[in-house]
Homo-oligomer: A and B are copies of this chain.
Amino acid sequence: MRGDELGQRSETVRRANLAAIVRQLHARGPQSRSTLVSRTGLTRSAIRGLIGELAAAGLVSERAPAPLGTPGRPSPMVRLNPERATVLALEIAVDSLAAALVGIGGRVVAIDRVDRQRGHTSVEEVAADLAELARRVVPAGHDPATLVAIGVAMVAVVRRDDGLVAMAPNLGWTDVPLGARLAAALGTRIPIVVANEADLGALAEHRRGAAVDVDDVVYISGEVGVGGGIIVAGQALTGVAGYAGEIGHMPLNPNGLPCHCGSVGCWETEVGERALLRRAGHPVDGGGRAAVDAVLAEASAGVPRAREALAEVGRWLGTGLAGLVNIFNPELVVLGGLLGRIHPYVAATVAAEVHRRALPAPRELVRIVPASLGVDAPLLGAAELAFEPLLADPAAWLGARGVVPELASA
């Protein structure tokens, strides 16, 4: 091996090590150098040098820890500076629009959510409303040079390569280049990444919610429709073009109701919001959080039709989950959105149905829990997605900003 090859390898290794440190701090918060040594496998001296570089670039700070009363010199605590690198997260949900400014390390600087009318809306209108929301969450003195990227979560089938919105039935959109439209509305040239809201909910729950440290996860986001975000061996399941995870459209009842997708008896026709409202004898049009809460209140008060509606949704939920348990052998199933909210009412029914239908080997290993980040999971996942380029190569990002020229040399 020639010297220059070794030199290139060494530089590649250094950049990968910087990335490992930043990713650790981003995912797990402030920690001592000793902890970084044990988690990254790097030597103490390597950690010291790399932290020095990141501190010089302003991305991390060190401070002495509180004395622990243990012998030996305490290791300084290393933390990311959330104001040094930020992302704008946006969400287009069925009933609302949302925006958040998030600093590296996951600190939410500002967050805002506004209701929107259900139904078809033009891209221009949504983009304008999101631009208005974005202005609200970005404070006046915010340094645009710190903005890494913009992430957008959306109830839609989204192509991975370019964020093309292939199909958003709630809005009536087909093949919309949303990133470009948003860039125009926001008047920005910052990179914009768009992804499916269930995929992003899974990402957020995996990094900061119910699924931290769990590498095989099925996250199910249920509202009007049902979507899935699936983590396989720690990585998001995307499929060949990013469309994977449309578990709401598993055919589960071939003699069931027509689905808006054109098929019949998809899972979401049995466990989505409309199924619950219909079975409870409530109007299915309109819907939304208040309508579902009314059913839950009736069930709590012992109204038989509401209780039976929830039991029926629970049986279908368990039936579909049994299939997913058999297919994915997940360690954890996380129920988000509507399905997380009804979880306390249906948990026993779901467990019984999964027990009846799933194979013993995978069934004995799975836990089914509600999402822990609630309604904001997809928005927080959009922030995580937007941070990815920085996390993958912090040296390149810092270098490109010209703040630390020596980091750009590689």
B319 with A251: CB separation less than 8 A: yes
A243 with B329: CB separation less than 8 A: yes
- CB of A167 within 8 Å of the partner chain: yes
CA distance A205 to B216 in the complex (A): 25
A357 with B233: CB separation less than 8 A: no
A30-63 at interface with B (beta carbon < 8 Å)? 43, 45-46
A148-168 at interface with B (beta carbon < 8 Å)? 157, 159, 166-167
A318-360 at interface with B (beta carbon < 8 Å)? 319-320, 322-323, 326-331, 356-360
| 8 Å CB contact of A233 from B228, B235, B254 | B235
| 8 Å CB contact of A232 from B232, B255, B359 | B232
- CB of A209 within 8 Å of the partner chain: no
Q: Which A residues contact B (CB, under 8 angstroms)?
A: 1-2, 5-6, 9-10, 13-14, 43, 45-46, 157, 159, 166-167, 215-216, 228, 232-233, 235, 237-247, 249-255, 261-264, 319-320, 322-323, 326-331, 356-362, 365
Given A46-B1, A239-B362, A252-B252, A357 and B327 contact (CB-CB distance below 8 Å): no
CB distance from A349 to the nearest CB of B (A): 15
CA distance A322 to B356 in the complex (A): 24
Q: List 21 A-B contacts (CB under 8 A).
A: A1-B14, A1-B46, A2-B45, A6-B10, A9-B9, A9-B10, A159-B361, A167-B360, A216-B239, A228-B327, A232-B232, A239-B328, A239-B329, A239-B330, A241-B361, A245-B329, A246-B327, A246-B362, A247-B326, A250-B327, A251-B252
CB distance from A264 to the nearest CB of B (A): 8
**Set of chain B residues within 8 Å of A159, measured between Cβ atoms:** 361
| 8 Å CB contact of A328 from B244, B356, B357 | B244
Closest B residue by C-beta to A239: B329
CB distance from A260 to the nearest CB of B (A): 11
CA distance A319 to B256 in the complex (A): 13
B330 with A254: CB separation less than 8 A: no
**Set of chain B residues within 8 Å of A356, measured between Cβ atoms:** 262-263
| 8 Å CB contact of A329 from B2, B13, B244 | B244
CB distance from A195 to the nearest CB of B (A): 14
- In the A-B complex, the 10 residue pairs with the smallest Cβ-Cβ separation, listed nearest first, are A239-B329, A244-B329, A246-B326, A243-B329, A166-B361, A263-B357, A250-B323, A240-B331, A216-B240, A249-B326
Further pairs besides A241-B329, A244-B327: 15, Cβ < 8 Å: A6-B6, A157-B361, A166-B360, A167-B361, A232-B237, A233-B238, A238-B329, A239-B329, A240-B331, A250-B250, A251-B323, A252-B252, A252-B254, A253-B254, A263-B356
CA distance A238 to B361 in the complex (A): 13
B320 with A251: CB separation less than 8 A: yes
CA distance A235 to B238 in the complex (A): 13
CB distance from A319 to the nearest CB of B (A): 5
**Set of chain B residues within 8 Å of A239, measured between Cβ atoms:** 216, 328-330, 362
**Set of chain B residues within 8 Å of A166, measured between Cβ atoms:** 360-361
Closest B residue by C-beta to A164: B361
**Set of chain B residues within 8 Å of A254, measured between Cβ atoms:** 252-253, 319
CB distance from A243 to the nearest CB of B (A): 4
CA distance A239 to B214 in the complex (A): 11
B323 with A249: CB separation less than 8 A: yes
CB distance from A407 to the nearest CB of B (A): 17
B322 with A251: CB separation less than 8 A: yes
Closest B residue by C-beta to A320: B251
